């Protein structure tokens, strides 16, 4: 997927925390006219990035055609609903919300307003994950039987992450990326069995077993570790005709085991500045200007949230949970 310019597009970024920086860098590289609003940190982000600060959410929305929500999860509702009511297209970091019905309300509000909503499921734009999806769906490794996905990092610095009532913990905040990828590759999930470990009532690591509608099985492991822990992602995918392995700490991030000639060109060509965030936001800019559907939809993110919420429910109940149950 080639990168398309967002030249001249007026983008208001709400929030100035860690995730805002790559969003601002991507929009700026795409040629957008970016301003930022945040209750704290906006000045520092603006000075580093060469963008303009506005002093209220209302001004941020009024001066933009796209609002990019990079705030803590528990604040998403108010911002997304205000942007939709003003007729602004919305990018919203994942998860959309911590509750199915609240997230569905955001999706419905954007649909009713006739604006597009892009959830921040950026993993679909990472080359190793994009290549795996393509190789599964073009039949290169045959029908998927088993996937093992993992994601780990240091505990986020912002204190709200440690409160599962505010962040959802690693299951909802972090592992949702792999739940989305699992569904993207192997299809809808009909059962989730999960276990979590942690300190007191706050989980810091979890394991989830997903059963897909087509019979495939996915194991997902995630967690937050000590402050010096490196960020690491990995997957192992096995199909009837071969397998794929990825580990972000390997020198070769993607390995494959398939029959036949050398599988050249598995990874798309990326230049050094073509970040997954840039590709993600370029896809959204294209969807706005050409009225197309981006690679990840709001409905995709809602489905991934349902899987995450089913995992949380399974941890509490000790039984497998169908994602449909969290919609009741």
Cα–Cα nearest to 284, from 158, 115, 163: 115
CA 173 to CA 18: how far, in whole Å?
14
CA 324 to CA 68: how far, in whole Å?
29
pLDDT over threshold 70, residue 155: yes
Residue 10, SS3 per DSSP? strand
CA 280 to CA 1: how far, in whole Å?
10
Q: What is the mean pLDDT of residues 217-226?
A: 96
pLDDT tens string 28-69: 999 999 999 999 999 999 999 999 999 999 999 999 999 999
Number of H helices, E strands in the chain: 11, 13
Could you please report the per-residue DSSP string of 69-122? E-S-GGGHHHHHHHHHHTT-EEEEPSPS-SSHHHHHHHHHHHHHHT--EEE--G
Other C-beta atoms closer than 10 Å to the C-beta of 317 total 11
Strands (E) in the chain, as ranges, are 10-14, 33-37, 52-53, 66-69, 89-92, 117-119, 144-154, 189-199, 202-212, 217-225, 232-239, 242-247, 254-258
pLDDT over threshold 90, residue 295: yes
Task: Give the model's confidence band at 1: pLDDT under 50 very low, under 70 low, under 90 confident, else very high.
Answer: very low
Task: Give the model's confidence band at 5: pLDDT under 50 very low, under 70 low, under 90 confident, else very high.
Answer: confident
The CATH 3.40.50.720 domain(s) of the chain lie at 10-122+277-296
Cα–Cα nearest to 175, from 192, 200, 157, 158: 192
What pLDDT was estimated at residue 265? 44
Structure tokens that stand for 248 in this block = 């972000």
Q: What is the DSSP letter of 30?
A: T
- Angle among Cα 318, 320, 321 to the nearest 5 degrees reads 110
What pLDDT was estimated at residue 257? 75
SS3 content of the chain, % helix, strand, coil (to 5): 40, 25, 35
Task: Report yes or no: 192 and 208 within 8 Å, Cβ to Cβ.
Answer: yes
To 10 degrees, what angle do helices 20-29 and 42-49 make?
Answer: 30
Q: Which fold has domain 10-122+277-296?
A: Rossmann fold (3.40.50)
Task: Give the model's confidence band at 200: pLDDT under 50 very low, under 70 low, under 90 confident, else very high.
Answer: low
**Higher-confidence position of 258 and 267:** 258
Q: Which fold has domain 123-256+303-327?
A: Dihydrodipicolinate Reductase; domain 2 (3.30.360)
The CATH 3.30.360.10 domain(s) of the chain lie at 123-256+303-327
**166 class by beta-carbon count within 10 Å (0-12 exposed, 13-18 middle, 19+ buried):** middle
Cis peptide before 95 (omega within 30 of 0): yes
Phi, psi of 89 (to 5 degrees): -70, 155
**156 class by beta-carbon count within 10 Å (0-12 exposed, 13-18 middle, 19+ buried):** middle
């Amino acid at each position: 997927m080639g990168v398309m310019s967002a030249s001249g597009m007026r983008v208001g970024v709400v929030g100035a925390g860690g995730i805002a920086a790559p969003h601002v860098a991507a929009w700026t590289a795409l040629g957008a006219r970016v301003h930022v609003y945040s209750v704290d940190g906006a000045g520092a982000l603006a000075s580093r990035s060469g963008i303009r600060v506005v002093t209220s959410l209302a001004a941020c929305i009024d001066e933009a055609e796209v609002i990019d929500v990079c705030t803590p999860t528990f604040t998403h509702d108010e911002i997304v609903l205000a942007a939709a009511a003003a007729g602004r297209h919305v990018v919203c970091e994942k998860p959309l919300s911590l509750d199915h019905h609240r997230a569905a309300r955001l999706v419905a509000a954007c649909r009713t307003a006739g604006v597009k909503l892009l959830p921040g499921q950026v993993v679909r734009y990472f080359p190793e994950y994009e290549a795996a999806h393509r190789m599964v769906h073009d039949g290169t490794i045959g029908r998927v039987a088993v996937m093992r996905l993992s994601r780990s990092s240091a505990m986020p610095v912002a204190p709200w992450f440690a409160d599962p009532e505010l962040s959802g913990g690693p299951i909802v905040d972090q592992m949702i990326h792999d739940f989305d990828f699992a569904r993207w590759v192997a299809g809808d999930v009909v059962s989730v069995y999960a276990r979590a470990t942690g300190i007191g009532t706050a989980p810091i690591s979890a394991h989830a077993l997903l059963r897909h509608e087509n019979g495939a099985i996915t194991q997902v492991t995630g967690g937050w570790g000590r402050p010096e822990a490196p960020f690491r992602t990995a997957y192992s995918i096995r199909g009837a005709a071969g397998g794929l392995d990825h580990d972000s700490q390997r020198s070769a991030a993607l390995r494959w085991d398939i029959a036949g000639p050398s599988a050249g060109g598995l990874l798309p060509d990326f230049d050094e500045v073509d970040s997954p965030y840039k590709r993600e936001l370029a896809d959204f800019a294209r969807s706005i200007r050409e009225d197309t559907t981006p690679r990840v939809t709001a409905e995709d993110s809602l489905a991934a949230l349902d899987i995450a919420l089913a995992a949380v429910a399974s941890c509490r109940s000790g039984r497998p949970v169908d994602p449909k149950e969290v919609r009741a």
